[in-house]
Amino acid sequence: MASEVVDATAPKPRGGRFCTVCNERRAALKRPKTLEQICKECFYAVFEDEIHRVIVDNHLFKPGERIAIGASGGKDSTVLAYVLSELNIRHGYGLDLFLLSIDEGITGYRDDSLETVKRNEIQYGLPLQVVSYKELYGWTMDEIVKLIGLKNNCTFCGVFRRQALDRGAALLKVDKLVTGHNADDIAETVLLNILRGDIARLSRCTSITTGEDGPIPRCKPFKCSSVFNLLIDSFEVGPLTCSSRIYSPNAYRGFAREFIKDLERIRPRAILDIIKSGEDFRISTSTKMPEQGNCERCGYISSQKWCKACVLLEGLNRGLPKLGIGRTRGLNNERNKDMKATNGTKALQSKQCGTLDF
């Protein structure tokens, strides 16, 4: 009965287990992946080694590449910046590393986390580039929330951040963008894609590298690594642990997050099992996938005529913020029609960074 739960809590009362690796220091944590009890020092070593293996086995980087690290100031990206700069020196990857931060313009939230990123810049000697929503789109999140209220603003933030990262990466002229998504994030994405019927994303969300056909591929070296709360003690991290959800937690994303936490409590390996399932799903190559094209307005990759960011932005600028939320297809078509009617130059101006090369 409930053996998994008992196992997880058993060592604590006894309190005196030794690290299974060095057998010298007290074990400080149990790795969900291997169920080993290990100490903090050994965990560092094991963890760095694991990430090194991931990087080598998946041929994530080539010598001489310029790599942007998406840095939010949270724990995952802080650890990512540390591990990558460390491994780059230790194993001689020969990479040029950069920190890339997005300033959404959320008062009191990003200010603090940007401070963290700036400290990372000094600590690891990595050049930092900050791109803000304000300069890219002309809107801060605060302004957007003021206009559309607390509902649906996640759509804006998410869509804008994704594109902002790519635009920032283009500014830095990097070859790849690395993000700190960990196993929990991937598992959550797998579940959400099942819940909303998105077979195309389901098929690619577990890949370690995505967008290889695009201008700037992204990769997730922490794909199979769990949250390492232990490491965080040694780092200064921003005030919030997960990406800016302070305005509104999306209902079923919230459910999914809770669900994953509950799952992990009952069975720690469930997270990795979900990722394994995601990789093993039999998705035939003939399954109809949306065609990737480019946005006619800003050139960003898009399956529609305009990319989602342009649709949302158009809505904001025209005072119709609900545009692009919900049934996109119909709106996209409709908007394409009246885009011809309105004068195009005015629309283009609203996106100040509109003509970046991709």
Partner 1 sequence: MSCNSGTCESGCYREEYSGDDVRHDRPLVTGNGQESNGVSSRGGDSNSPRLCIKCKVNENIVSTHPSVAAGGGDCIRFCADCFRSNLFGKFRFAVTSNAMISPSDNVLVALSGGPGSSGIDEMKLIVSSLAPPSKQFFVIPTESIYSPDCAAGRDQLTKLASAVSDVTGKEDLVEHLRMLSLQKIATENGCTKIVLGTCTSRIACHVLEATVKGQGFSLSADIQYVDARWEIPVVLPLRDCLSEELNTLCNLDRLKLLLHDGSFFYCQDSLKTIDVLQQPRSGINGLIASFVKLLQQENPSRESTIVRTAGKLTPFCFNRIPEVGDDNGHLASQRRQKKYNLKPNESLPPESFCIICNSPLKKTGSATFNDIDNGETRAAAACSSCQYQIFPKDPSSLEYLFTPPSVNECTGKGWQYQP
Q: State the binding site for ATP.
A: 70-72, 76, 102, 180, 185
Q: Which is nearer to partner 1, 92 or 197 (CB)?
A: 197
Q: How far is the CB of 115 from partner 1 (least distance, A)?
A: 37
Shortest CB 284 distance to partner 1, Å: 4
Query: By C-beta, is 50 or 296 nearer to partner 1?
Result: 50
State the nearest-atom distance from the C-beta of 221 to partner 1, in Å.
22
SS3 at position 91: coil
Among candidates 245, 79, 208, 247, which has minimal Cα distance to 256? 245
- Which residues form the interface with partner 1 (CB under 8 A)? 1-4, 190-191, 193-199, 202, 251-252, 255, 259, 262-263, 266-267, 269-270, 272-274, 276-284, 287
Q: Nearest distance from residue 135's CB to partner 1, in Å?
A: 37
The two tokens of residue 93 are 């990857």
Cβ-based nearer residue to partner 1, 214 or 326: 326
* E strand intervals along the chain: 29-30, 37-38, 66-70, 96-103, 128-132, 176-178, 209-210, 218-219, 293-294, 301-302
Q: Residue 284, exposed/middle/buried by CB under 10 A (0-12, 13-18, 19+)?
A: exposed
Kindly state the smallest distance separating residue 76's Cβ from partner 1, in Å: 23
For residue 154, give Cα distances in angstroms to 158, 193, 195, 247, 248.
6, 17, 18, 8, 7
By beta-carbon proximity to partner 1, the closer residue of 62 and 265 is: 265
Cβ of residue 245: shortest distance to partner 1, in angstroms? 18
Structure tokens at 343: 């004068």
Task: Closer to partner 1 by CB, 107 or 284: give it.
Answer: 284
Q: At 202, which amino acid appears? A: L
Rounded to a whole number of angstroms, the minimum distance from the CB of residue 272 to partner 1 is: 8
Residue 91 token pair: 């194993």
Residue ranges of the binding site: 70-72, 76, 102, 180, 185
CA angle, 165 then 166 then 168, to 5°: 65
Q: Determine contact, residues 102/131, Cβ cutoff 8 Å.
A: yes
CB nearer to partner 1: give 105 or 268: 268
What secondary structure does DSSP assign to 6-21, as a single string? HHHHTHHHH--PBPTT
Distance of CA 341 to the CA centre of its chain: 38
Report the residue number, 233 or 280, with the smaller CB distance to partner 1. 280
Neighbours of 161 (CB within 10 A): 20
